A and B are shown apart, each in its own frame.
Chain A
Amino acid sequence: MMDSIAGLQLGFSHALTLTNLGWALLGCFLGTAVGVLPGIGPALTIALLLPITFKVEATGAFILFCGVFYGAMYGGSTTSILLNTPGESGSIITALEGAKMARNGRAGPALATAAIGSFVAGTIGTLGISFLGPVVVDLALQLGPAEYFSLMLLCFVTVSAVLGGSALRGLTSLFLGLLLGLVGIDLQTGQPRMTLGVPELLDGVNVVLVAVALFAVGETLFMAWRHTSAAPVVRPVGGIVMSRSDWKRSFWPWIRGSLLGFPFGVMPAGGTEMPTMLSYYAERKLVKPEHAGEFGTTGAIEGVAGPEAANNAAAAGILVPMLTLGLPTSATAAIMLSAFQSYGINPGPLLFEQQGALVWTLIASLYVANIMLVVLNLPLVGLWARILKIPQPQLYAGILVFATIGTYGISNSVTDLVLLYVIGIIGMFMRRFDFPTAPVVIGMILGPMAEQAMRQALTISEGNWLTFVERPVSLAILALAVAALVGPRLWAAVRRRASA
C-alpha cells in the first residue's frame, strides 16, 4: 500500500514533465485514430512504432505505447457505434446496442457513455494495477522456473483453447506461433533450428514481421477476397450531450462493468470477450422494467455503458501479468513485451525493483492518458467520425504502404518481404477458416521464454521431469491448466447426457 503511493509519487513526478506529456498526447491521438480505423489496431500500430526503441529512451517509448493502447480502445467503440463493424473482439458487444442507438439518432449519447465509461473503467483498472501490481510481485518472487513454466502452460491454454470459437483451431494457431518462435539459433547450445537451410532465418523470424503480416496483410487480402462495391453506412453523430436519465442509467453499468472486467484481464485469461458478454447479460437482467424494451430494439444505453467499461477494465488488467510476471496474454501485450526486450529489460517480478522509476512512470502515464482521452475525445468526436469516411481503396492501399516499410526497415531485405506476404496469405486463410491470430503472436513471444524456463527447471532438478508435479504450486497451476482445457468440454458432455 505504502509502496504503491510512494511509487505513484515518483511516477507522476516523471510523467508530468513536458516531454513525457507530449509522448502521452501523441500516443493517445495516434491510438484513437487507429482504433477508429477499421482493420488496424493497437498491436499493429505498436509493432510499426517499434523502431522508435532505437532512438527514444525507454520511458518515452512506453508512455507512447500505453497511450496508443488506451487510445485504441476509446477509438474502437466509435467504429462499433457509428459503423456497426466492431474492430476487435472486445467491442462486438458494444456494437449490439450501440449501433441500434445510432440508427435511432442517439449516436451522440452512445458515444458519450462509451467514452465516459472507458474513463471510469480505465481509472478503476489503473488503480487496480497500482495497488495489485506490488502484491503480485511479492507472490511472484517466490516462484521458481518450474512454477514459471507451469504458469506459461496455463497461459497457452487460456489464450488458445478457452477463448474463441474452437479449442482445436485456437491450439493450432498457438502451435504455429510456437513453431515460428523456434526458428533460428538455439540460445543455449548454438544450434540452428527450423531454418530450412536459409541463412536469413538464422536470426529467427521477427515478431514485427509476423504481427504486420497477420494484422495488416492478411486482413487486407481477406477484405479483397470478399470485396463488394457496397459502401458502409456511417451514422451521423448528432449532439453528444447525455440527459440526466442517461447519466443515471449509465452510472451503475460503468461501475459493474469495470469491476467485472478487471479480474478477467488480470487472470491469464486475457480476453475481453467473456467479460463484455457477461456485462451485457448482467445489464439486460438488471435493467429497470420500463427500459427493458429498448434492448435489441431501439438500443439501450446500459448495454453500451456496461460492456464498454468491462472491455477497458479487462484491457487494463492485462497489464498486470505483463508487468509483474512478464506474461503477455494479448497480442498487444506480446508486442509491448518485445519492446521491453529490445531495451534489454525483462518484465517480471524484478522489474519493479530494478526499473522502479520506469514502471511507476508508465503506470502514472496511464492515469494521464485516461484523462487526456476523455478530454480529447468528446469534443473531437466529429473529427474521429470523419476518419471513418476515408474511402476503402486508399485506406487499404495506405495500410500496405506502412506494412511494407515497417517490414523492409527491419533489415532492408526482400526475403523479409517474401516472408511477410507468405504469412499474410496464411493469415487470410486463417480469417476465412476462423483461426484466431492473437495466439500466433503470443506463442511466438512466450514459446522461447517457456522453453528457457523449462530447461532451467530441469537443470535445477538434475533432469527430473517430475519436478513440475512435485512442487505443490507448480502442480496446482498445472491442474488449473488441465481443468481449463478439458473442463468446458466435460461440462458440455455432461449437459448433453443430462438433456438426452
Chain B
Amino acid sequence: MTRPGNAPSGAAPDVMVGGFVLLLGVLALWQTSTIPASPIYAQVGPKAVPYVVGAGLLALGAALLATALRGGWSHTLEEVQEAPPTNWRALGLLLAGLATNLVLIGPFGFSAAATVQFVLVAAAFGSRRLLRDLALALVLTLVVWFGFVQVLGVNIGAGLLEGLVLRALGLDAIE
C-alpha cells in the first residue's frame, strides 16, 4: 500500500504508535498521582519510580511521534516493504478463536474451550479438514490438561470433557 519513496502517507500507522506510547505515559502518570501517600517513613516513597517510568514513557512517546511526523520508520523496515496484504480472514478467525475460548472456558472448562479454539485457529491458517482437526484437538487438549494437572501439579478444575474422561476411567475429579 505504501508507495515507494513516499514517506508521509506511510507514516500514519507510526503516528498512531507514537500516540499510543504517549497515552501509556499519561495513564502511568495519572495512576501514580493516585497512589496514596505512604504512612510508613521511607527515604524514597512508592511514587518516585512510577513517576520516572511515566515521564520516560511520555518522553519516548513524544520522540516516536516526532519521528513519525518526519516520515516514520516503517518504510525502512524490509519486512514491511515485502509484506503481503493483511489477511483479514486469518486474523478474524484467530481472534474469534481467542474470544470463543474466553467465553467457553468458565462454564465448560479448559478442554472444551481449547478444542473449539484449536479448530478455529487451524482454520485461520488454512486448514480445511475440520473433522480431523476436531479429533486432534480433543486428544491434544485432554493430554495437555492431564499433563499439567497430574504431572506438573497445576490446579485446573475439571470441566465438561475432563469430567467425562475421569468418570470413564473411574477416577474422582480432583478438586
Chain A residues with a Cβ under 8 A of chain B:
49, 51-52, 54-55, 165-166, 168-169, 171-172, 175-176, 178-179, 182, 186, 188-196, 217, 220-221, 223-229, 391-394, 396-398, 400-402, 404-405, 408-409, 412, 414, 417-418, 421, 424, 429, 432-434, 447, 451, 454-455, 458-459, 462-463
Contact A228 B144 (CB under 8 A): no
Contact B133 A401 (CB under 8 A): no
Known: A171-B60, A182-B50, A433-B74. A458 touches B44 (CB 8 A): yes
Instruction: Report the Cα distance A398→B138, complex, angstroms.
Output: 11
Contact A432 B90 (CB under 8 A): no
Q: Can you give 6 A-B contacts (C-beta < 8 A)? A: A179-B24, A179-B57, A393-B125, A396-B124, A401-B118, A405-B144
Instruction: Report the Cα distance A391→B124, complex, angstroms.
Output: 13
Whether B171 sits at the interface, judged by CB under 8 Å, is: no
User: Using Cβ atoms and an 8 Å threshold, which residues of chain A touch B21?
Assistant: 172
Whether B63 sits at the interface, judged by CB under 8 Å, is: yes
Chain B residues with a Cβ under 8 A of chain A:
13-14, 17, 21, 24, 28, 31-32, 35-36, 38-40, 42-46, 49-50, 53-54, 56-57, 60-61, 63-64, 67, 73-74, 77, 79-80, 83-84, 86-87, 90-91, 93-95, 97-98, 101-102, 105-106, 110, 113-114, 117-119, 121-127, 133, 136-137, 140-141, 144-145, 148, 152-157
Rank and list the top 5 A-B pairs by shortest CB-CB distance, nearest first. Answer: A393-B127, A393-B125, A409-B154, A397-B121, A393-B122
Q: Which of B28, B106, B118, B152: most chain A CB closer than 10 A?
A: B152
For A55, the closest partner residue in chain B by CB is B153
Q: Which of A171, A182, A402: most chain B CB closer than 10 A?
A: A182
Given contacts A191-B36, A393-B126, 4 further A-B contacts (CB under 8 A): A51-B153, A224-B94, A405-B144, A434-B73
Contact A193 B50 (CB under 8 A): yes
| Cβ distance A210 to chain B, nearest Cβ, rounded Å | 15
Known: A188-B40, A462-B43. A400 touches B153 (CB 8 A): no
Partner of A459, one of B43, B54, B122: B43
Contact A417 B102 (CB under 8 A): yes
Contact B90 A224 (CB under 8 A): yes
Contact B105 A179 (CB under 8 A): no
User: Using Cβ atoms and an 8 Å threshold, which residues of chain A touch B123?
Assistant: 393
Contact B117 A400 (CB under 8 A): yes
Instruction: Report the Cα distance A176→B148, complex, angstroms.
Output: 30
Instruction: Report the Cα distance A401→B139, complex, angstroms.
Output: 12
Instruction: Report the Cα distance A52→B148, complex, angstroms.
Output: 9
Instruction: Report the Cα distance A224→B42, complex, angstroms.
Output: 49
| Cβ distance A218 to chain B, nearest Cβ, rounded Å | 12
Partner of A408, one of B31, B90, B110: B110
Contact A421 B118 (CB under 8 A): no
For B115, the closest partner residue in chain A by CB is A401
User: Using Cβ atoms and an 8 Å threshold, which residues of chain B touch A49?
Assistant: 152
| Cβ distance A480 to chain B, nearest Cβ, rounded Å | 20
Instruction: Report the Cα distance A166→B45, complex, angstroms.
Output: 33
Contact A193 B35 (CB under 8 A): yes
Contact B49 A451 (CB under 8 A): yes
Contact A225 B87 (CB under 8 A): yes
Partner of B127, one of A220, A391, A402: A391
Known: A393-B123, A404-B101. A189 touches B118 (CB 8 A): no
Known: A220-B94, A455-B43. A429 touches B63 (CB 8 A): no
Instruction: Report the Cα distance A12→B151, complex, angstroms.
Output: 27
Instruction: Report the Cα distance A190→B37, complex, angstroms.
Output: 11
Known: A404-B117, A409-B155. A189 touches B148 (CB 8 A): no
Instruction: Report the Cα distance A463→B43, complex, angstroms.
Output: 6
Contact B40 A190 (CB under 8 A): yes
For A225, the closest partner residue in chain B by CB is B91
Contact A408 B91 (CB under 8 A): no
Instruction: Report the Cα distance A409→B64, complex, angstroms.
Output: 37
Contact A221 B148 (CB under 8 A): no
For A435, the closest partner residue in chain B by CB is B17
User: Using Cβ atoms and an 8 Å threshold, which residues of chain A touch B154?
Assistant: 51, 405, 409
User: Using Cβ atoms and an 8 Å threshold, which residues of chain B touch A169?
Assistant: 64, 73
Instruction: Report the Cα distance A177→B160, complex, angstroms.
Output: 37
Contact B110 A227 (CB under 8 A): no
Contact A175 B56 (CB under 8 A): yes
User: Using Cβ atoms and an 8 Å threshold, which residues of chain A touch B42?
Assistant: 188-189, 455, 459
User: Using Cβ atoms and an 8 Å threshold, which residues of chain B touch A229?
Assistant: 126
User: Using Cβ atoms and an 8 Å threshold, which residues of chain A touch B64?
Assistant: 168-169, 172
Q: Which of B32, B83, B114: most chain A CB closer than 10 A?
A: B114
| Cβ distance A56 to chain B, nearest Cβ, rounded Å | 9
Known: A179-B24, A401-B141, A463-B43. A191 touches B156 (CB 8 A): no
Known: A193-B50, A196-B31. A168 touches B60 (CB 8 A): yes
Instruction: Report the Cα distance A408→B157, complex, angstroms.
Output: 10
For B55, the closest partner residue in chain A by CB is A175
Contact A401 B117 (CB under 8 A): yes
Contact B148 A397 (CB under 8 A): no
| Cβ distance B86 to chain A, nearest Cβ, rounded Å | 6
Q: Which of B14, B64, B67, B125: most chain A CB closer than 10 A?
A: B125
Q: Which of B67, B118, B123: most chain A CB closer than 10 A?
A: B118
